[in-house]
Amino acid sequence: MTDVQRDDVDIPTEDGVADAYLVRPADGRPHPGVLFYQDAYGLRPHLKSMADRLAAAGYTVLLPNVFYRLGRAPVVDLPEFIDPGSDPTIWERLGPMLAGLTPDLVKRDAGAYLRWLADSPLVADGPVALTGYCMGSRLALWTAGAHPDRVAAAAGFHGGGLATDDPDSPHLEAPRITAELYFGHADEDGSLPPAQIARFEEALTAAGVRHTCEVYTGAHHGYTQADTPAYHREADERHWAALLDLLKRTF
């Protein structure tokens, strides 16, 4: 496996400074950039290990703490194994944080992250790719719609609320998206019922967005997160294959 170099970096934004994890191949050369959007549990060891795996495949990966307005990561102290079923206070603490991260803030922050990647000598010239998990899938869609000139590809896995009746629903970004998309849905995910899956794909098709949407049988919301009870090894490895294939096509 390729050796990687890891750093903690600070990214100036319009509202402060976002702390982030940066990892890339240790050869000192620029590599294609990937903006990695966290799930609701935040920037933590498991997500860093996922970013490391991406970097080892040949990418410069930026994993920002999207809750930076509330403090540096970890914004909420969580156990090594995160199980809301045994500790319902986890979502009592996380809920208000998610509600406060509006689409407008996401898009504004995305501009700062993308500018940082464009200015970094560690990132190859040209647009970047996005990957997002759970709520990060929504962030990836809002970013791809708001910054089409900077995003060549975007992936989302076990995303929820992708095609709701909300006026800011992520699927409404479709007409502005020029990136190729890949989405891996969990078939046992109450936050993305079949009607939303259908609405999401219909919106992408109507807008002419290049996309692939697949439903992972037997997978629950959070299937890539090995530090939670939702983890599903087969679905996780399928996600890695799909993500790396998308990145190879893109770069």
Domains of the chain and any CATH numbers: 4-250 (3.40.50.1820)
- pTM reported for the whole predicted model: 0.98
Please give the Cα distance from 209 to 147 (Å, whole number).
15
**In residues, how long is the chain?**
251
Q: Are 98 and 135 in contact (CB under 8 A)?
A: yes
Q: How far apart are CA 141 and CA 121, in angstroms?
A: 26
pLDDT (average), residues 104-132 = 98
pLDDT value, residue 147? 98
Residue of 31, 211, 221, 232 marked catalytic: 221
pLDDT digits (tens, 9 = 90+) for 136-183: 999 999 999 999 999 999 999 999 999 999 999 999 999 999 999 999
220 is catalytic: no
Q: What is the pLDDT of residues 66-77, one digit of tens each?
A: 999 999 999 999
Half-sphere exposure of 183 (CA within 13 A, CB side): 30
Query: Which position among 46, 134, 211, 227 bears the catalytic label?
Result: 134
Q: What is the mean pLDDT of the chain?
A: 97
189, 211, 220, 239: the active-site residue: 189
Q: Is 134 a catalytic residue?
A: yes
Band (1; pLDDT cuts 50, 70, 90): low
Cα(237)–Cα(224) distance, rounded to whole angstroms? 8
Summarised one tens digit per residue, pLDDT across range 209-245 is 999 999 999 999 999 999 999 999 999 999 999 999 9
Instruction: Output phi, psi for 162, to 5 deg.
Output: -80, -20
DSSP H helices, the chain, are: 45-56, 89-100, 103-119, 135-146, 194-206, 233-250
pLDDT at position 249 over 90: yes
Omega before 74 cis (within 30°)? yes
User: What is the C-alpha to C-alpha distance for residues 226 and 186, in angstroms, rounded to an integer?
Assistant: 15
Which DSSP letter does residue 230 get? Answer: T
**Is there a catalytic annotation at residue 239?**
no
How far is the first Cα of the chain from the last one, in angstroms, to the nearest whole number? Answer: 20
pLDDT at 155 (0 to 100): 99
